[in-house]
Homo-oligomer: A and B are copies of this chain.
């Protein structure tokens, strides 16, 4: 990079050369160049520019509401009541919604969601989270003092990494992350100056975790850094797998043996579709392994309001639970979160509703269950549809979408297209996705943004578009892939 000439004249302080170099290393594909181009194209369409399509279909980001999913009525009723408590005097809301709102408001300073909360989160919300975790994990105890409410799961993940990362040279902290990964991890590690240790998921075995891969990746990393933590995303983004109980057990034993801090990203815990698959929380399995493990292995797990059946991304709600964390470190964690004052209170309220949803007998229960089930069934249907159609395309191979909201199919690209991409300085699957976008208006993210085995190519697509659009999208991808293959053969 060179100074822009006018910067020299302008005597500017902050230039690409003087800025924080770790920030420059950050990459974030989900909102990268392809998405920027998609936004440009949308603008061009609005301005009347002629294209071979009339709208951009975005399947680049796990943003359910943007794709037309409707919010849960009960959640939004309570949020409206919390925002404008005058509504408590109206007859239009069910009693259980009013009661939830009153309870949340009572826990807020001055009875207002406009007050800062405790930095760790509102007490009663943390208690509700703890009870939810206990129910979810068949009674394994959860201490609300170990629960931290966060500004989305992103915030919790970055905060935990910040606690873990330090050192220089060969003693720099290393953090193991799956490849393919959700790029928040690589971005945060780059920003913190940590060593990213890749372990590859096994595409042949439906993106499962492979003990021997973990072992060899760790052994290699030990030669040049200080590996401290192991991150798992389950159900998986971008790969849509659900790890088996056996696999989670293996990973925990591995972490215990190798002394690694576990970070379990479980934001898709309700998004399990495939028959025979089930969500197992790392915490539950940890405790089932007995005190040798449950008294020793350090674990942080993350949840969010952004995914599952609610898809409330805009509220930036989330929590993390820490287990077996050293007391002094936890005091440091509590101090650290206090600097940002508190997570957004409406997001905290929403997190509370998620972990404390309407119960049988309450007026909102039936509607709530209907809405929840409808959303999850539709996602399950679309997961199946996506896998089936993609697997009919010669040159595309797609694992079952067992959970989460994504398919990460393998695409074979003709040699000629790879050469052309490289000549342009582009990753071959970026070249592919960009062409797809320009020709069809479909916005996917190239596999290179998430990491993949050298010489393999993928794209990630969400299963979130409404069924009719998803069908169009899949048909267009099919047509495009065949045309592309022909064109470059």
Contact = CB atoms under 8 A, between A and B. Distances in A.
Interface of A: 1, 4, 7, 10-16, 18-24, 26-28, 30-31, 61, 63-69, 71, 76-77, 79-81, 83-84, 87, 90, 92, 108-110, 112-117, 119, 151-152, 154-155, 158, 162-166, 184, 187-188, 191, 228-229, 259-261, 295-296, 298, 306, 310-316, 324-329, 332, 335-336, 338-347
B116 A20 contact: no
A102 to B, nearest CB: 15
A16 B332 contact: yes
A14 B76 contact: no
Nearest to A258: B13
Contacts of A164: 14, 19-20
A65 B115 contact: yes
Give the residue among A4, A63, A191, A295 with the most B Cβ atoms within 10 A: A63
A326 B63 contact: no
A228 B13 contact: yes
A240 to B, nearest CB: 20
Contacts of A154: 339-341
A228 B12 CA distance: 10
Contacts of A328: 1, 4, 15-16
Nearest to A305: B114
A13 B260 contact: yes
B155 A340 contact: yes
B19 A332 contact: yes
B28 A316 contact: no
B259 A11 contact: yes
Nearest to A16: B328
State the 4 A-B residue pairs at the shortest beta-carbon distance, nearest first. Answer: A66-B109, A314-B345, A80-B84, A65-B112
A340 B152 contact: yes
B116 A63 contact: yes
Contacts of A229: 13
A315 B110 contact: no
Contact of A314 (B12, B26, B61, B116): B116
A52 to B, nearest CB: 24
Nearest to A343: B316
Nearest to A152: B341
B165 A20 contact: yes
Contacts of A343: 316
Give the residue among A87, A108, A311, A325 with the most B Cβ atoms within 10 A: A87
A344 B347 contact: yes
Contact of A23 (B23, B79, B332): B332
Give the residue among A81, A115, A184 with the most B Cβ atoms within 10 A: A115
A82 to B, nearest CB: 8
A398 to B, nearest CB: 26
A366 to B, nearest CB: 18
Contact of A109 (B21, B65, B312): B65
Nearest to A119: B31
A312 B110 CA distance: 12
Given A314-B112, A314-B346, A343-B316, A15 B68 contact: no
Contact of A13 (B1, B108, B110, B261): B261
B314 A115 contact: yes
A313 B6 CA distance: 40
Contact of A117 (B114, B188, B191, B314): B314
B24 A332 contact: yes
Contacts of A23: 162-163, 332, 336
